[in-house]
Chains A and B, each alone.
Chain A
């Protein structure tokens, strides 16, 4: 039961992306609904298709904030036509998501590499910083079949990576 149908895709191949994408979409819509400030801050940059590339992960994530879309793609079949790419360790992404480390520091020390539409990436970083997101909390509010599945997934990711998926108290 550990390797649930939604968790297995991340760690074994070949796999079906559809269930994972369903869960990611729900997460994205959930965050957009709970934090309308993110899309407001992004303004026109919300249209940008941003590719998220964590080198150790078997899939690439493509985010399009204003469409509230987040989809996983096989590395062998990367999605065409992204406007920007952010590449870096999962820990660096989480630090940006949770606002625990300064985005400028992450980007310009090389922890996170950007290519493409730099303005869209900075807008996303600033919007996320204001939203004070907590990934664990967002997952906790996610109901239905996707919620428990993504929560189990995050637990596995946390154990495997040694990273905390909750927003730490920073002060």
Chain B
């Protein structure tokens, strides 16, 4: 059966994911070493050890994301995170930076390494490079590939692949985007944040609601209508005669119906995005995807409408997995 890898931004969410049947949970330390360095989220060392014990007692794995790019001069912060993850009993660490991978492979030979989506390894040559150089065992594929391309990649590599099936959707190659730091000074790669809340301002302006990021107007909606969070690449802009979502509509990824195709493509694990989401959300999504993965394993059709409530009011897309998205 494909492994279901579920998000946890807090110990409560980790317990919710494990209780709902997650095969593996991914989470990070409460600092800039992980790519969801959001206010109020993530794990202290003690919480990580407790969370891992909780998961292991119930047969689930914990993968620790240390997937930002260490700051020059401050690499020990990231090195300590890797050492602490191993000490806490992590089943693997999810890394993106070449230097950190080299460090982990050399200093922590017993620690299983996964390649983060932030490394943007989008073809077999890149994946094989990471496998040969650092002994990476699994690669999280960037969300720029079609199912056909994933199938082809799996034929040429010797490591496991993990793909995103649900949640937020990056439209840019992950780990290679500085849009956020251009507008706010803070980036996913350096600070573990994208379009950070600290630079968001909501305001009412002549009867409309505006959401700004770093002073740039990202959304404007009539009063009373929902104002989306001003994530830069999901914003509404003008180019020439056209006004709209130039990069991506404010949609989220739902590849439920592609699960059988992804299984056939040789994908080992399915990943759910959303370490910033609540424990209620995590529990519901995990429960639904457990049912879907089990159905796929038995060759049954995907259960319908499982996640209708969670995507209600928000359009869903199969993203890059379908070629027409490009």
In the assembled complex, the Cα of A95 lies from the Cα of B139 at a distance in Å of 37
Taken together as a complex, chains A and B put the C-alpha atoms of A53 and B195 apart, in Å, by 26
B39: shortest Cβ distance to chain A, in Å?
A: 3
Query: Given contacts A119-B197, A122-B40, are A100 and B229 in contact (CB under 8 A)?
Result: no
Contact between chains at B12 and A129 (CB < 8 Å): yes
List, in ascending order, chain B residues with CB within 8 A of A40's CB. 44
Q: Chain B residues with Cβ under 8 A from A122's Cβ? A: 38-40, 197, 276
| Binary CB contact string for chain A from 69 to 105 against chain B (1 if under 8 A, 0 otherwise) | 0000000000000000000000000000001111111
Chain A residues with CB under 8 A of B277: 102-104
Q: Among B13, B197, B224, B281, which residue has its beta carbon within 8 angstroms of that of A118?
A: B197
Q: Does A113 contact B (CB under 8 A)?
A: yes
* Chain B residue with Cβ nearest A121: B197
C-alpha gap A107/B279 in the complex (Å): 16
**Chain B residue contacts of A124, Cβ below 8 A:** 40
In contact, B38 and A126 (Cβ under 8 angstroms): yes
Instruction: Tell me which of B40, B202, B225 contacts A126 (CB under 8 A).
Output: B40
A126 partner residues in chain B, CB cutoff 8 A: 9-10, 38-41, 276
| Set of chain B residues within 8 Å of A42, measured between Cβ atoms | 39-40
With an 8 A cutoff between CB atoms, is A125 at the interface? yes
Q: How far is the CA of A110 from the CA of B222 in the complex (A)?
A: 12
B220 part of interface (Cβ distance < 8 Å): no
A104 near B228 with CB under 8 A, answer: no
In chain B, positions 28-63 with a C-beta closer than 8 Å to chain A are 30, 38-41, 44
- Cross-chain contact of B279 among A118, A123, A129 (Cβ < 8 A): A129
- What is the total number of residues of chain A having a CB less than 8 Å from a CB of chain B? 35
Chain B residue with the shortest CB-CB distance to A100:
B280
Q: How far is the CA of A154 from the CA of B205 in the complex (A)?
A: 37
How far is B39's CA from A118's CA once the two chains are assembled, in angstroms?
10
Contact: A123 with B278, CB < 8 Å? no
The answer for the CA separation of A105 and B276 in the assembled complex, in Å, is 11
Q: Given the complex of chains A and B, what is the CA–CA distance between A43 and B41 in angstroms?
A: 11
The reply on B20 being an interface residue by CB < 8 A is yes
Cβ-defined contact, A119 with B280, below 8 A: no
Residues of A within 8 A of B38 (CB): 122, 126
Task: Give the distance to chain B from A84, nearest Cβ to Cβ, in Å.
Answer: 10
- Chain B, residue nearest A111 (CB): B226
A110-B40 CB under 8 A given contacts A99-B278, A104-B276: no
Cβ–Cβ contact A104 & B313, under 8 A: no
**Are B40 and A123 touching (Cβ within 8 A)?**
yes
A170 to B37: give the CA distance in the assembly, Å: 27
- A122-B197, A126-B10, A130-B12 as given contacts; A102 in contact with B281, CB under 8 Å: yes
Closest chain-B Cβ to A95's Cβ sits at a distance in Å of 9
- B residues near A (Cβ < 8 Å) are 9-13, 16, 19-20, 30, 38-41, 44, 196-198, 200-203, 224-229, 276-281, 283-284, 287, 310, 313
Q: Which 3 A-B pairs have the closest CB atoms?
A: A126-B40, A123-B39, A123-B40
